[in-house]
Amino acid sequence: MADPNEREPSPTLEEQVRRLYGGAETRTARAMEQLVAGEAFGELLTRVTENVVAVTKLSSDVGDLVLRNLRVAGRSDITRLARQLNRTEDKLELLLQRVEELGDAIERRDAAGRDEAPASSGDERSEAGPGGNGTAAKPSSPRARTRKP
């Protein structure tokens, strides 16, 4: 038989903390399992997800508004400006070609007019060039009519 004077050794402080921690963990695990098992958890998870998506969309819209109000160009603005710039360059290239063609036509007309005029008559206008002011028409510089890529 056990001697009443002999007592069971009392648990140490570390053992008491471990036992209390284990009990709290077990009770928390049971409570979490009950929470997840119910329909309320699914509904709560759905609502939280919807709210996160809505807040994300709102923050994205606010960011767009901030950029627009700061007048910072976005990607679509830069693309649109690049297209406009390319169209303007194409129009300027066509205009340059037309101006050069008109210049060539004027030179051909002046050259044809000089060839028809009698050189031996002593007419000063034929020697002076068009306009009769003593200046001859300058030939235009040859320009490459190729387009840049």
On whether both 58 and 90 belong to a single domain, the answer is no
CA pair distance 124, 144, nearest whole angstrom: 36
Q: How many domains does the chain have?
A: 2
**41, 35 in Cβ contact below 8 A?**
yes
Res. 144: pLDDT tops 50: no
Instruction: For the chain, give the percent of residues with pLDDT over 90.
Output: 44
Give residue-wise pLDDT tens across range 16-61.
Answer: 999 999 999 999 999 888 888 888 888 989 999 999 999 999 999 9
On whether both 57 and 31 belong to a single domain, the answer is yes
- State the residue range of the domain holding 92: 73-116
Q: Which of 139, 132, 141, 133 is nearest to 111 (CA)?
A: 139
Check residues 73 and 90 and name the one with the higher pLDDT: 90
DSSP per residue over 79-130, as a string?
A: HHHHHHHHHHHHHHHHHHHHHHHHHHHHHHHHHHHHHHS-GGG--HHHHH-T
- Domain membership of residue 51 (yes or no) is yes
On whether both 25 and 36 belong to a single domain, the answer is yes
CA pair distance 137, 99, nearest whole angstrom: 16
On whether both 112 and 65 belong to a single domain, the answer is no
